[in-house]
Amino acid sequence: MPHTPQEKKRVLARVRRIRGQVEALERALDVGAECGPVLQQVAAIRGAVNGLMSEVMEAHIREQFGAPVDSDVERHERVEEMTSLVRSYLK
């Protein structure tokens, strides 16, 4: 999770934009909008979520690998955690 006030503000702004996009999609579906614009909105939401995931992951990587490790075991655990996160992100 981003820890600086600036990072938190930026991430929360992204989340609020995504919420707005999802609400717009819900309204479009409710009124029976055409498939093309609905698909464009879904693609925009997917892109926004990917951007959010990327930003949070970057902050996590900086946090985890910017700090010194006490042992090879701790380093291995950090690498395993990041590998798992990247795999889940790429699914």
Averaged pLDDT for residues 41-69: 86
Tens of pLDDT, residue by residue over 4-45, are 888 889 999 999 999 999 999 999 999 999 999 999 999 999
Q: Which residue has the higher pLDDT, 29 or 64?
A: 29
Q: Of the CATH numbers 1.20.1260.10, 1.20.58.1000, 3.40.50.11810, 1.25.50.20, which one belongs to the domain with range 5-90?
A: 1.20.58.1000
Distance CA 9, CA 27 (A): 27
- Confidence (pLDDT) at 1: 64
Buried b (16+ CB within 10 A) or exposed e, 18-37: beebeeebeebeeeeeeeee
Is the pTM higher than 0.85? The answer reads: no
Sorted by where each begins, the domain ranges of the chain are 5-90
Please work out, in degrees rounded to the nearest 5, the angle formed at the alpha carbon of residue 20 by the alpha carbons of 17 and 22: 110
Quickly tell me which residue has 């996009």 as its tokens: 21
